[in-house]
Structure 1
Amino acid sequence: TIGDSVNTTGNVSSTNGGTGNTASATLTVSAVLPPSIAKAFSPTAIVSGDTATLTLTISNPNQQTTLTGLTVTDTFPSGMTIAAPVTVTNSCGGAVNDDLGGTLEAGDAGIQLTGGTLAPNSTCSITVLITTTQSGTNTTGNVSSTNGGTGNTASASISVGSGVVDLEVSKSADPTSVAPGGAIRFSIVLRNNGADAADGATFSDNVPAQVTILNVTCGDATNGAVCGTPSVSGQDVSMTIPTFPSGGTVTVRIDGMVMGDSNFTNTARIAPPTGMVDSYEANNESSAPVTAATTGTAADLVVTKSVSPTTFTPNGALTYTIVVRNDGPNDVNGATVTDIFSAALINPQWSCAPTGSASCAAGLNNGNLVDTVSIPAGASLTYTVTGVVAPGANAPINNTAYVALPSGFTDPTPANNSASAISNPASPAAAPTQIGSIAVVDPVIVKLVDPALALPGEQVVYTLTVTNPSSAPAYAVVVSDTVPSVLEIISATATQGTFTISGQVVVFNVGTVNPGQTVTLTVTARLRDDAPAPSAVTNTGELRHQTGNPRVSSATLRVTRGRLPATGLPPAEPRTFGDSIALLGLGLLSIVAGALLWLRARRR
């Protein structure tokens, strides 16, 4: 009987010694435990029709009893069969047949072990090469033995696709500790470790609500990989990688501003293209933990923003004015100003004018505003953004600018680190129609400077003439002029449209230029007293419009020390030592040539 049995003797005694004690002993009879089974495929992902090894591992948990009569049947799911040639190993003894008990052959839909034997506290295994055309999970029947009874079943899954990849995600956060109002960047490296290309693999990242997403980019593609275009919807970032060969990598960067004061973790994921399978899914996601910083150097950065006009028309100009200031108490070096413009704004351009010792990007810049700046306490930056409203725009254009602190700073009022401006559509107007052949619109820009020769301290006038020789209007014409730093801008004029002056940049929002129309723009500037002389200063104007490529035109101003009274031209420059040597050489050559001619004449 299974269990503990206690046997106690009677008292021991002797004739001359009398009665002694009793004695007891316990005999424990244990049940023979059943076998257990585990199952695995290797590899776990294959191309349809390829092979994988199925391994059944049987264990004997009994410490002293050998299990006999081991039996298990494994009937495969649809699409899975024994591969040819039949390849089987068996360390469990007994016989391995098909799942119906017949001889094992290629194409059979299962296997069966009968009559196996397994020593105490040991394992044995059966391997068989299979092929399959479908993904699925395979479960065995119960494993059993004659003396141990019935044990468990075992399951394993295999994935089947048109190709096998091994996609990997590696994610990091910089910095890893951020105060409210601070900037953060998540860098996500996506890698294809598999043998096959993974064109069309998809990346996704649900960014925690504590982070305001400012900008998302993809770059640093290697080994033939090609970045896709990141998409942002609320807190969800996604991207399809169009070209992703074996060994290729791309890096996605998510720039944001932390607004919450609690710890969080951000997780990124990658999935194989439709129809393909991943051989190792454990590395398909990666997380980056971020802690909330509670201390740092205090600085209150503030953003204000306005738009003109507040009511737009398609093909019309739109101008944003963004002011970023530091209300202190400490200077900030390395803050990030970001403004990602609406797709309804065509050809956005921006420039920055700092006050005091603040610094920002110089000149005229194209595209979204992303600028790393320094703002001492009490200083400010003024950004001027110009663009053209897309022809089909009919919904409000709402745009937000942000400033984020660098690591090590804390903002006492992070709520004022962003500002928005909205422009609403005006009543729709009928668009002009081109009848017949398609018109090619190609406006022309010509730039001149008067006078073309000037002394330091004198004024010059640049004239930019925009003409439309086409048979259709040129819409959304914008002319920009980045004036060289040796000139101080005094004023500007335009016979049509509006203009803004920001630092050394003048931007003219001309608007529509009709066929045959000419628009004249001027910039008056003064040569600075320390302008180098003699020198040549080239100034280039750029014209952009709704369709077609940008056009440029340049004018060169010659800076001189003075003018000759008779000609008005600059005086000749002093001869250099090199010039003197060259003239001496020419003189000697002339003397030698003359002597040779004289000798030839005498010989005749």
Structure 2
Amino acid sequence: MLATPAPLRHALAICKNILFLVVISAVFLASGLEAQTLPTFSKAFLPDTIGPGSVSTLRFEIVNGGGAGVRNLAFTDTLPAGMTVASPANASAGCTGSLSAANGAGSISFSGGTLPAGSTCVITVDVTAAAAGTYMNVSGDLTSDAGNSGNAVADLTVATDRPGFSKAFAPSSVFFGDRSTLTFTIDNTANAQQAVQLRFTDNLPAGMVIASPSNASTTCGGGTLSAPAGGTTVSYAPLGGIDATVAAGTACTVTVDVLGNAVGSLGNTTGELTSLAPPIFTQLSSGKASAVLDVAVEELSLTKSF
């Protein structure tokens, strides 16, 4: 048998090594390509326009479109000046991880998140802003073991073409079973037009019921107020036509007494307040209203005598 010349042996060895590296690289890329797919990151305000002092829900969405799970998801969102986390925050995350969004805080953070392949994580936090204007909210970058997905951007507009919507408990702290007056304020003082066909519904949280008597009343123009004693829903709506109104440059209120029948901080957030804006009667959303009633156990005192 003839011996293979040395130069040819060297060339064959080099080709063999190159082929081996190509095969190994192809296998590595095929196995790791999907694992390196970055999740997408976006955010939105719902609704994206509110009245002064009302509440909007800030919604973050993380989508893992890759074929492998992603771990160590984390981001921080510093809210713009004039915007804060609402009270209650109603913070929730649709994936595992640690979410921090304290009532009244100026930032939101999420860390240690995991997201399976082909799934979506939605994170929501209620926020509020009082001064009119457009608030540009740019989050920090979303990072994970897959890399840096970049930031998310959304705008919230606080407009004076619709009333602001807020609520408060008085007193804001009661003992178990005691009564507090819940006041909804529809504030149209910054609006040069009246708002008509005001409408909202408030489903009370677990542990809170409408008192008997409810002492339900309103200073708004017309409309129908429903707050049955012992119930858990307060609603205000027009009867029809130009009804359930608040005049330009003024505010009106809806009040109802409630009972705190569970110990703890009872966070209460309404549905959106909607209205029609003359002269073309476009329907507008003012956003939501929120407040917290703290309910404590009254301490018992024990005395004895002989």
TM-score, normalising length from structure 2? 0.55
Tell me which of 250, 261, 265 is aligned to 1:387.
Answer: 261
Who is 1:277 aligned against?
Answer: 146
Aligned-partner SS, 2:59:
strand
The answer to whether residue 100 in structure 2 is matched with residue 236 in structure 1 is: no
The answer to whether residue 161 in structure 2 is matched with residue 289 in structure 1 is: no
Who is 2:77 aligned against?
Answer: 205
The answer to whether residue 40 in structure 2 is matched with residue 168 in structure 1 is: yes
Which has more radius of gyration?
1
Who is 1:324 aligned against?
Answer: 184
Aligned-partner SS, 2:207:
strand
Q: Distance in 1 between matches of 2:19 and 2:275?
A: 62
Q: Offset of 1:259 from its aligned partner?
A: 0.9
Q: Is contact 2:37–2:146 with CA below 8 Å preserved after alignment?
A: yes
Tell me which of 7, 12, 20 is aligned to 1:85.
Answer: 20
Write the deviation string for residues 164-196 of structure 1: whole angstroms up to 9, x where unpaired: 452111222344444423443333221112222
Q: Is contact 2:198–2:276 with CA below 8 Å preserved after alignment?
A: no
Who is 1:259 aligned against?
Answer: 130
Write the deviation string for residues 451-498 of structure 1: whole angstroms up to 9, x where unpaired: xxxxxxxxxxxxxxxxxxxxxxxxxxxxxxxxxxxxxxxxxxxxxxxx
Q: How many residues align?
A: 241
1:351–1:398 CA distance, 2 compared to 1 (3 A): closer
State how 1:134-153 maps to structure 2 within 5 Å: none
Aligned-partner SS, 1:253:
strand
Q: Is contact 2:49–2:158 with CA below 8 Å preserved after alignment?
A: yes
Q: Is contact 1:213–1:235 with CA below 8 Å preserved after alignment?
A: yes
Q: Is contact 2:135–2:155 with CA below 8 Å preserved after alignment?
A: yes
Q: Distance in 2 between matches of 1:165 and 1:429?
A: 64
1:242–1:292 CA distance, 2 compared to 1 (3 A): closer
Which amino acid counterpart does residue 192 of structure 1 have in structure 2? N
1:290–1:383 CA distance, 2 compared to 1 (3 A): same
1:399–1:306 CA distance, 2 compared to 1 (3 A): farther
Q: Is contact 1:183–1:336 with CA below 8 Å preserved after alignment?
A: no
Q: Identity, % of aligned pairs?
A: 16
State how 1:35-50 maps to structure 2 within 5 Å: none
Q: CA RMSD in A?
A: 5.0
TM-score, normalising length from structure 1? 0.31
Who is 1:348 aligned against?
Answer: 207
Q: Distance in 2 between matches of 1:277 and 1:398?
A: 39
State how 1:547-562 maps to structure 2 within 5 Å: none
State how 1:445-594 maps to structure 2 within 5 Å: none
Who is 1:484 aligned against?
Answer: none
Q: Distance in 2 between matches of 1:206 and 1:86?
A: 47
Tell me which of 162, 169, 184 is aligned to 2:56.
Answer: 184
Q: Distance in 2 between matches of 1:257 and 1:404?
A: 13
Q: Offset of 1:306 from its aligned partner?
A: 1.9
Higher strand share: 1
1:305–1:86 CA distance, 2 compared to 1 (3 A): closer
Which amino acid counterpart does residue 277 of structure 1 have in structure 2? A
Write the deviation string for residues 476-527 of structure 1: whole angstroms up to 9, x where unpaired: xxxxxxxxxxxxxxxxxxxxxxxxxxxxxxxxxxxxxxxxxxxxxxxxxxxx
Q: Distance in 1 between matches of 2:155 and 2:271?
A: 23
Which amino acid counterpart does residue 196 of structure 1 have in structure 2? A
1:229–1:255 CA distance, 2 compared to 1 (3 A): same
Aligned-partner SS, 1:85:
helix
Unpaired segments ≥5 residues, structure 1:
1-81, 88-105, 107-127, 132-159, 342-346, 391-396, 431-604
